[in-house]
Structure 1
Amino acid sequence: MTFLDNSRWDGKIFIDGWTEGSGAAQDVLEPATGKALGRYGLATAEDVKRAAAVAAEAQHAWAAKRPEERAAVLRRAGQLWEEHAEEIQDWIVRESGGIGPKAALETHIAANECYEAAALPSHPAGEVLTSNEDRWSFARRRPAGVVSVIAPFNFPLILSIRSVAPALALGNSVLLKPDPRTAVCGGVTLMRVFEEAGLPSGVLSLLPGGADVGTAVVEAQEVHVVSFTGSTAAGRAVGETAARHLKRAHLELGGNNALIVLPGADLAKAASAGAFGSFMHQGQICMTTGRHFVHESLYEEYVAALTEKAEHLPVGDPASGQVALGPIIDERQLKRIHAIVEDSVLAGGRLAAGGTHEGLFYRPTVLADLTPENRAFSDEIFGPVAPVTKFSDIDEVVRLVNANEYGLSVGILGDVGTAMKIADRVNSGKVHINEQTVSDEANAPFGGVGASGTGSRLGGATANIEAFTELQWLTMRPEIADYPF
């Protein structure tokens, strides 16, 4: 029996053990071929209620375990990601449509997330405060309780584990709702890893489902913190629901990220960076380069170089050969991408490359001569499309970058001194100088501003402790205080 053998989880969810979900089981579909790879169970709101009650009960015993015991589970989980990487990567390739290197990145970061989280149980849990009273005064961190994690389809493993691992390490229990399109690599794999790592039953539940399940994991009275990664529209709904129930919601949302190519930048390297930023995983990344701002002195050469890259990148089934781009996740997403491209050309954009597709395989596309009013400039496309606009001076490019509701990631290529000045003026949760916009590490804070999120950060000890614990004030006296009543 393999680590992810279908017979264990076929048609099931996980609540205190593998069990039938109340919803009808669904096929796991391979977007590249349309083939069914297996079946996963669908949860309902009633399943969520049961899982939340189980999680609340299990959380107390889990939080009471010695720090070294919780750390050991996280370390073992990290080892399991490495030991079973090949099998898990195959599922990522086939279920999410990612190429092999992207799948390898996911298992690598998953292991690192667990290793980083393994240090959290022994991290200082508070501080000693001064007091004007004759007492000791402390601020201490305590587990939030039950945490709901809602994760998307595009990097299903990374975008689940980056919240699940630190939340568990800090003594919380977790309700995990992966996107149904990637319920195996974004859900079953995590459940199997932590099951084998020795996590007590009930501490982690797997609840694939639609919007009704998403609402339920936010509204459940046992849940105190929600960690959501997904579209801005869905994130607004999650945030509104959480606010009504007075719950903290950490929202990592969309992005329309800018890559700035400064005068004098190495053209070949800039075009390579731009192609990677826009076309990696078919552009289905919140950090994807959605706007290329190129100085007028390099503009035409850059468009030509990027077009050359786009025209020679192989597109196809990532499970059947070496390709640079795989399929779009589904027909609905492909139609949206193509509509934006067609609208942008009709509005005056120049189609320099791509703009066509066969089935779910969309060609890398370059759109030039765009204005801020063009849909390809203003919208998050979430597809393999590189919109290019020229600028003449630093003030102009800063205005262009900031003329957008999103604020997740900015890359600046060229002179470091100029780039540093720009970095101080752009509204963005992340800035990468002489790198493109797509980057993530387990120990680095991750998050955006504006429509890209609530400003919350995940990643690194400080951010994760802030995200998944509550701060409590505790005082102590040697004897009962005297009062005037």
Structure 2
Amino acid sequence: MRLLDSTSWQGRVSSDGWTAAEGGTYPATEPATGSALADVGHATAGQATRAAQRAGEAQRDWAATSAFERAAVLSRAATLFAENADEIAEWIVREAGSTRFKADIEVQAAVAECTEAAALATAPYGQLLHSPMPRISVERHVPAGVVTVIAPFNFPLILAIRSVAPALALGNSVLVKPDPRTAVCGGVVLARIFEEAGVPSGVLHMLPGDADVGGALIDAPQVRVVSFTGSTPAGRAIGARAAETLTRSHLELGGNSALVVLDDVDLEAAASCGAFGNFVHSGQVCMAIGRHLVHESVYDDYVALLGKKADALTVGDGFREDVALGPVIDDKQLRHVTGLVEASVAAGARLVSGGTHEGLFHRPTVLADCTADTPAYREEVFGPVACVRPFSDVDEAAQLAADSEFGLALGILTNDLARATAIADRVPTGLVHINDQTFNDDPNAPFGGVGASGSSRVGGQRANLESFTETQWMTLRATAPQYPF
């Protein structure tokens, strides 16, 4: 039987089994066609609160389970993701408006994240400390408790599993709230995979819903960590709300990343990097290139090449056609993108290519001669829009790259690594890729930004251990001492 063939999950939430959704149901919609794909259960705040209580109860037994048993569960999950890759990818294509290329990246990442988490479960989790007393002194990491994971629509599987897998591996129970627009590929898939992998009942809950549900999953006293990926305004609100209960929050937020193109590059390769890093998944990527900063001596040629690449990209329904870009997720996002393009042209940006759309299918767009006042240059577009601006020297390149409230990713293209590192050292950012574009993600590497792009890191053994555990100091004596009291 296929992973999602059963109708048991339709119109339901996963909380101690598939149970009735108290908020009713709504259709999972295919952005490319507007067609309904399935019925999704909508949780309520009360249902979320009770799920948190149950997760707190189940977490104690899960934490007491052998680390090797938890590792085996994560290994089985990795195998199940691989075995069901085609079915999962099809859902990502249809529900998230993805291409098959992008959907395959997500499934492969899920396999890798679960494999890494399996290793994390049995990795060293503490260290011996010197002590002036006759005792053994230990710093160790213990499970945080209940972890809430709130995931977005754009990469719904990767951006959920990145936190879910390590949190489970380290002995936490998990509450997942997928974006309602991608609740199947970003929520139901996870619940079904871990159900089949052997996660005990009550340890993992999947609750699609609105902001009230998310609020309940932050406010619940059992929740000790919130891992959120999404927009900067939403992240600020979630961080403030979590702080009221002294709940730790890991916030992976927006970006407006720069690609710096110096004067010694292969321009064809540079334009290829620029096009991919900007237009992949129709630009709906937090680390997508938002600003192309190009040395003035190669600026015109780069703009022309980038425009040609944009014109050559096919846009359409990734489920029914072999295309490079799919639709943007919904009408609201389309209005945001088109509004920024129109405002930018009105402000003096030169439209090189694109700028049009049919329904939710927006053409990849190149805007040249941008300035700090160009709306699409200044703001995060989250759409297939490239803004290009010239610079005269390395100092100006570093200044322009750093001139943003965001600090997620930076790409630098040059044959001179000394110049590249000189720029990187002057730009506040969480990720730097020299001689590559900004869209990169490894399961064993820490991921996150600075400034308006968020706080803390998820990914890699050290960052995950710190993110999903509490640090505890423990001492051991052979016998109790006599004190002068």
- What's the offset of the Cα at 1:245? 0.8
Q: Which residue in the other structure is 2:421 paired with?
A: 420
Paired residue type of 2:154: N
User: Tell me, what secondary structure is at the counterpart of 1:324?
Assistant: coil
**Distance in 2 of aligned mates of 1:154 and 1:231:** 11
Contact 1:6 1:38 in 2 (8 A): no
Which amino acid in 2 is paired with 1:435?
Answer: D
Partner of 1:481: 481
Q: CA deviation at 1:235?
A: 0.2
Matched, 1:346 2:350: no
Where does 1:15-414 land on structure 2 (aligned, <5 Å)?
15-414=15-414
SS at match of 1:481: coil
Task: Report the number of matched residues.
Answer: 484
**Aligned partner of residue 38 in structure 2, secondary structure:** strand
Amino acid paired to 1:332: K
- Distance in 1, matches of 2:177 and 2:198, equals 21
* Letter matched to residue 138 of structure 1: V
8 Å Cα contact 1:146/1:225 also seen in 2? yes
Query: Which residue number corresponds to residue 435 of structure 1?
Result: 436
Between the aligned partners of 1:313 and 1:6, the Cα distance in structure 2 is 37
How far apart are 1:417 and its partner, in Å? 2.4
For the 8 Å contact 2:410–2:431, the answer to whether it is kept is: yes
Name the amino acid aligned to 1:200: P
Aligned partner of 2:442: which letter? E
Shift of 1:191: 0.5
**Distance apart, 1:484 and its partner CA:** 2.3
Cα contact 1:14–1:205 (8 A) shared by 2: yes
Opposite residue 397 of structure 2, the aligned amino acid is V
Give, as a single letter, the amino acid of the residue that structure 2 aligns with 1:108.
Q
Distance in 2 of aligned mates of 1:2 and 1:247: 38
| 1:6 Cα offset (Å) | 4.8
Partners of 1:96 and 1:42 lie apart in 2 by 18
Write the distance in 2 (CA, Å) between the matches of 1:67 and 1:143. Answer: 11
The secondary structure found in structure 1 opposite 2:292 is strand
> Root-mean-square deviation (CA), in Å?
0.8
Q: Which moved more, 1:417-426 or 1:9-18?
A: 417-426
Identity %: 60
Give 1:482 deviation, angstroms.
2.1
Amino acid at match of 1:450: G
Instruction: Report how far residue 483 of structure 1 moved.
Output: 1.9
1:134, distance to aligned residue in structure 2 (A): 2.0
Structure 2 Cα separation of the partners of residues 125 and 301 of structure 1: 53
Counterpart-to-counterpart distance in 2, 1:56 and 1:249:
18
Change (3 A) 1:343 1:6: farther
CA distance in 1, matches of 2:304, 2:186: 38
> What runs of 5+ residues in structure 1 fail to find an aligned partner?
none
> 2 CA distance for matches of 1:44 and 1:222?
18
Q: Please state whether the residue corresponding to 1:86 is helix, strand or coil.
A: helix
Moved more, 129-138 or 35-44: 129-138
Amino acid at match of 2:212: D
Greater alpha carbon shift after TM alignment, 262-271 vs 417-426? 417-426
Matched residue type, 1:111? V
| Amino acid across the alignment from 2:193 | V
Matches of 1:412 and 1:196 in 2, distance apart? 43
Q: Deviations over 1:294-331 (max 9, x none)?
A: 00000011110000011111100101111011000000
> 1:145-199 CA distances to partner (integer Å, 9 max, x unpaired)?
0000000000000000000000000000000000000000000000010000011
Tell me which stretches of 4 or more aligned residues in structure 1 moved more than 4 Å.
none
Segment of structure 1 superposing worse, 59-68 or 416-425 = 416-425
Give yes or no for contact 2:2–2:84 (8 Å, CA) kept in 1: no
Q: Secondary structure at the match of 1:442?
A: coil
Q: 2: CA distance between counterparts of 1:328 and 1:477?
A: 62
- How far apart are 1:137 and its partner, in Å? 1.0
Tell me the TM-score normalized by structure 2: 0.99
- Give 2:447's aligned residue: 446
Whole-angstrom CA distance in 2 between matches of 1:252 and 1:240: 15
Secondary structure of the structure 2 residue equivalent to 1:69: helix
Once the two structures are TM-superposed, the CA of residue 395 in structure 1 deviates from its matched residue by 0.7
SS at match of 2:13: strand
CA distance in 2 between counterparts of 1:332 and 1:179 reads: 15
